A and B are shown apart, each in its own frame.
Chain A
Amino acid sequence: MDEQESDTELGKIEVTRRTVIETGATALLLTTLPRAALAAGPVEDNEPPPPPVRVDLRINGHLYSLTLDPRTTVLDALREHLALTGSKKGCDHGQCGACTVLIEGRRVNSCLTLAVMHDGQSITTIEGLAAGENLHPVQTAFVERDGFQCGYCTSGQICSAIGMLAESRQGMPSYVTEDLMRAEAELTDVEIRERMSGNVCRCAAYPNIVAAIKQAAGIPT
Chain B
Amino acid sequence: MKAFTYQRADTTAHAAAATAKPGAKIIAGGTNLLDLMKLQVETPSQLIDINHLPLDKVEETSEGGLRIGALVRNSDLAADPRVRQRYGVLSRALLAGASAQLRNKATTGGNLLQRTRCYYFYDITKPCNKRSPGAGCAALEGFNRIHAILGTSEQCIATHPSDMAVAMRALDAIVETVDRKGDTRTIPIAEFHRLPGDTPEIETSLKPGEIITAVALPPPPRGVQVYRKVRDRASYAFALVSVAAIVDSARGRIRSARLAFGGLAHKPWRSPQAEQELVNAAVGTSTFNAAANAVLDGARGFGDNDFKIPLTRRTLHSVLAETTGT
A joins B in a complex: yes
B31 touches A112 (CB 8 A): yes
| Residues of chain A at interface, number, CB under 8 A | 47
Measured between beta carbons, the chain A residues less than 8 angstroms from B2 are: 43, 47
The verdict on A127 contacting chain B, using a C-beta distance below 8 Å, is no
Chain B residues contacting A147 (CB-CB under 8 Å) are none
Residue of B whose beta carbon sits closest to that of A117: B49
> CB-nearest residue of chain A relative to B91?
A180
Check if A172 sits within 8 Å of B79, measured CB to CB: yes
Asked if residues B104 and A108 are in contact (CB atoms below 8 Å), the reply is: yes
Which residue of A117, A173, A194, A199 is within 8 Å of B27 (Cβ)? A117
Shortest C-beta distance, A201 to chain B (Å), equals 13
B-chain residues with CB within 8 Å of residue A100 when the two chains form the complex: 101
Nearest-Cβ distance from residue A73 to partner chain B, whole angstroms:
7
Q: How far is the CA of A10 from the CA of B27 in the complex (A)?
A: 32
| Secondary structure class of chain A's binding surface, majority of residues | loop
Tell me the minimal C-beta distance from B49 to chain A in angstroms.
6
Rounded to whole Å, the gap between the CB of A177 and the closest CB of chain B is 8
Chain A contacts for B100, CB-based, 8 A: 107, 160, 163-164, 167, 195-198
Interface code B89-133, partner A: CB below 8 Å = 1, 0 otherwise?
001100110111110110000000000000000000000000000
Which residues of chain B come closer than 8 Å to A97, judged between CB atoms?
99, 101
B171-226 CB contacts (< 8 Å) to partner A: none
In the assembled complex, which residues on chain B have CB atoms less than 8 Å from the CB atom of A109?
31, 101-102, 105
The interface-forming segment of A15-23, A48-56, A59-67, A131-139 is: A48-56
Contact partners of B75 in chain A: CB under 8 A = 106, 167, 172
Residue A181, interface by CB 8 Å? yes
Task: Choose the segment among B3-11, B303-311, B317-325 that binds chain A (4+ C-beta atoms closer than 8 Å).
Answer: B3-11
Residues of B near any A CB (own CB < 8 A):
1-6, 27, 30-31, 34-35, 38, 47, 49, 51, 75, 78-79, 84-85, 88, 91-92, 95-96, 98-102, 104-105, 229, 234-236
